[in-house]
Amino acid sequence: MAYIEIYTKKDCPYCERAKALLRKKSLDFREISVDCSNLSDNINIEMRQRSGGRTTFPQIFIDDLHIGGSDDLVLLNDQGKLDLILINANS
């Protein structure tokens, strides 16, 4: 099964939209919230390093492949490419 990580922050509608899509597809994911930690600066730095400098939320990774944000996830899903990424992650 693909390992999905999503960096989120509180009261972010894009984060909620991405998580809702992942749940709709019955996908398990690890949520990394910058709000729930006294290490939020470190989490932000880690997210920026992994995402090539992106600072917006959410940032989504499937098996360490950077997917992008909520709009990117929705677009991949609409194009049928998200399922291909998930299938290849399981190989």
Amino acid (one-letter) located at 13: P
Burial class (CB in 10 A: 0-12, 13-18, 19+), 73: buried
Extract the residue ranges of the chain whose pLDDT is less than 50. none
Residue 23 has a pLDDT of 98
pTM value is 0.92
Task: Supply the pLDDT for residue 41.
Answer: 84
CATH numeric code, 4-89:
3.40.30.10
Q: Taken in order 62, 86, 13, 11, is the CA torsion positive or negative?
A: negative
48 vs 42: CA distance, rounded Å: 10
pLDDT at 89: 83
Domain boundaries, the chain: 4-89
